[in-house]
Amino acid sequence: MAMTGVLRPGHAQIRVLDLDESIKWYTDVMGLVPMGRDGQGRAYFKTRAERDHHSIVLRQADKAGMDFFGYKVLDTATLDELEAKLQAHGVKTERVPAGELLETGERVRFEVPTGHTIELYAEKKDVGNATGYTNPEVDVIDGKGICPIRLDHCLVYGTDLDGATDIFTKVLGFTLVERVKLEDGQTDLGVWLTCSAKAHDIAIVRHGENAKLHHVSFQLGSWEQVLRAADIMSKNRVSIDVGPTRHGVTNGTTIYFFDPSGNRLETFCGGYDHYPDMHPITWTWDEVGAGIFYHNRKLNDAFLSVVT
């Protein structure tokens, strides 16, 4: 599939309560690669296989959560085009100057109707990965911690699910992959959207409060790597929410767990390929338990209600 617009998730800025503790935890337990600090004191990280400078930014704050989630687009012409489409749709945009994030070009920032700040950008310094571009070795996991492949997606909670979905699908070119219906059989409880051939690049759930983060997800390469991640979490006394288990929605294997500030993260593996000519999959309310947790087919109240 030719990818010409929004390419992939690019970065998330996460609020943490103790920056020094979090830097050590994201380095030693998550196994992310530290990429420096900026003049605001924010800490930057990338995963083992990402070639752009960073995907995770940590900011010291008095409340956990996520400041913004960014997507990389094909080029600066695409960035200009998508900003114009957003404005035509009635979305107010803001240009964030190049360099405000380390090694990152100009960004287009806007708010979706669920209250979340989303960014688009075209330029970020390519720093490569450990294997290089010429005659690379196979990427072997030999680093510390969980050592994920890449930033995979986020799941956010907010009130106007339909309005947010319209922006992602009608303006930014995302495709609806799966949805969960409420008891009336008509209203969407949640949607899973992709800008690529992945099962999802963002998920949105209807919720009584706006601007809430459910989780930021990192990709692993196999079910065995998910189990290895569970061992690392247990060894380091990480608070695990759910898993290891499998989703019905997307078919991915998963563990949900919390960072030291209470932000929920996910290690995610698998999921099917999705193409724009495929029909969306619908889960009805009576089978929502199997959709979320396929093995025990039951919902976890804390999983649904705990957000930052």
Whole-number Å distance between alpha carbons of 255 and 253: 7
Whole-number Å distance between alpha carbons of 235 and 257: 13
Residue 131 is which amino acid? T
User: Average pLDDT in the 114-127 region?
Assistant: 98
Whole-number Å distance between alpha carbons of 214 and 205: 9
Whole-number Å distance between alpha carbons of 291 and 282: 9
**Under CATH, to which class is 150-305 assigned?**
alpha beta
Report the pLDDT value the prediction gives residue 103, as an integer from 0 to 100.
Answer: 98
Report the pLDDT value the prediction gives residue 289, as an integer from 0 to 100.
Answer: 74
The pairing of beta strand 65-73 with beta strand 117-121: parallel
Active-site annotation holder among 153, 207, 214, 274: 153
Whole-number Å distance between alpha carbons of 12 and 110: 14
Backbone angles phi, psi at 249, to 5 degrees: -60, 125
Whole-number Å distance between alpha carbons of 105 and 270: 31
Backbone angles phi, psi at 52, to 5 degrees: -75, 160
Single pTM value for the model = 0.96
Cα 245 to Cα 161, 293, 294, distances in angstroms: 27, 7, 8
Whole-number Å distance between alpha carbons of 86 and 182: 29
Active-site annotation holder among 50, 83, 266, 274: 266
Burial, 61: exposed, middle or buried (Cβ in 10 Å; 0-12, 13-18, 19+)? middle
pLDDT digits (tens, 9 = 90+) for 138-169: 876 677 899 999 999 999 999 999 999 999 99
pLDDT digits (tens, 9 = 90+) for 175-226: 999 999 999 999 999 999 999 999 999 999 999 999 999 999 999 999 999 9
pLDDT digits (tens, 9 = 90+) for 235-283: 999 999 998 998 878 888 999 999 999 999 999 998 889 988 999 999 9
DSSP bridge partners of 150: 219
Whole-number Å distance between alpha carbons of 254 and 32: 18
Nearest to 165 by CA among 178, 174, 157: 174
Whole-number Å distance between alpha carbons of 73 and 70: 10
User: At 6, which helix (H) or strand (E)?
Assistant: strand 6-16
256 catalytic per annotation? yes
53 catalytic per annotation? no
The pairing of beta strand 65-73 with beta strand 240-246: unpaired
Report the pLDDT value the prediction gives residue 78, as an integer from 0 to 100.
Answer: 97
Task: Please report, rounded to a whole number, the percentage of residues in the chain having pLDDT higher than 90.
Answer: 81
153 catalytic per annotation? yes
Question: What token pair was written down for 290?
Answer: 């199997």
Report the pLDDT value the prediction gives residue 141, as an integer from 0 to 100.
Answer: 67
- Radius of gyration of the chain measured on its C-alpha atoms: 18
pLDDT digits (tens, 9 = 90+) for 233-248: 999 999 999 989 988 7
The DSSP letter of residue 190 is E
**CATH code that applies to domain 6-121:** 3.10.180.10
Backbone angles phi, psi at 154, to 5 degrees: -135, 160
Residue 75 is which amino acid? D
Other residues' Cβ atoms within 10 Å of the Cβ of residue 64? 19
User: At 36, which helix (H) or strand (E)?
Assistant: strand 33-37
Whole-number Å distance between alpha carbons of 151 and 21: 21
116 catalytic per annotation? no
pLDDT digits (tens, 9 = 90+) for 11-48: 999 999 999 999 999 999 999 999 999 999 999 999 99
Report the pLDDT value the prediction gives residue 1, as an integer from 0 to 100.
Answer: 47
Q: Are 110 and 96 in contact (CB under 8 A)?
A: no
Tell me the domain boundaries of the chain: 6-121, 150-305
Q: Do domains 6-121 and 150-305 have the same CATH topology?
A: yes
